[in-house]
Amino acid sequence: MGLNEMTHQRPYGLIFLYLITTVLGGCATSEKAADRVEVPTSVPVAESQAPSLDLDLVERTLHMDRSKAALGFEEQKFDPCELNLQKVACGPRFLVTLNFQLQCRDIDGTVENYRVEPIHADQINWSLGRTLKGVSSTDHEGYGQIRVLASASSARLKLRLTLNNDFLIVNVNEVKRIVTPPQWCAK
């Protein structure tokens, strides 16, 4: 192949590099306002769309902001263009919010009477399915929140929470108050 033929080819390598850089570029969520949920929020590690959306704005627009005591999974499908969000590609997106309370029990085994204490952690790694991952934290009462934008529904996925070397896996629809074994207490 001559030099002339090479210069007239399309720059597929550059397009591929741009797409990979865009996909792996990531997105960081902003902190919540003081008058809303006073619970640590998650920071997605990788995001599938770029540029990123303001999660607080999307959450308010979709009326998905809620108190920390409103535990569980919530998801809403939307199109950024219908919300008049600029600089974002049109198409379906899903805002996923998981409010949870993480606690550990004082004794192991199957017993009726046990005490629980909240787990306050600055760094809890999480993943939803295989592609959505991030870091969250919990407050002094064990409340935490995960917020992420997804290109498909997360309703049938499993959530994995990892704290140091311990992890647990739960269906997203069952995420509410999570009580862990005693070894999580010492974290």
Residue 163 token pair: 């704290």
Flag whether 139 is in a domain.
Answer: yes
pTM above 0.85, yes or no: no
Sequence-distant (≥ 6) Cβ neighbours of residue 125 within 8 angstroms: 133, 134, 135, 161, 162, 163
Residue pLDDT, tens place only, 167-181: 999 999 999 999 998
Report strand pairing: 158-163 vs 166-171: antiparallel
* More confident position, 185 or 21: 185
Flag whether 14 is in a domain.
Answer: no
Sequence-distant (≥ 6) Cβ neighbours of residue 73 within 8 angstroms: 96, 97, 98, 154, 155, 172, 173, 175
Residue pLDDT, tens place only, 111-152: 677 889 999 999 999 999 999 999 999 999 999 999 999 999
The boundaries of the domain holding residue 35 are 26-184
Flag whether 18 is in a domain.
Answer: no
* Phi, psi (deg, nearest 5) at residue 183: -65, -20
Distance CA 166, CA 10 (A): 49
Quote the pLDDT of residue 19: 35
Flag whether 153 is in a domain.
Answer: yes
Total structural domains in the chain? 1
Question: How many beta carbons lie within 10 A of that of residue 13, not counting itself?
Answer: 9
Flag whether 174 is in a domain.
Answer: yes
Flag whether 20 is in a domain.
Answer: no
Flag whether 16 is in a domain.
Answer: no
Distance CA 104, CA 167 (A): 13
Flag whether 126 is in a domain.
Answer: yes
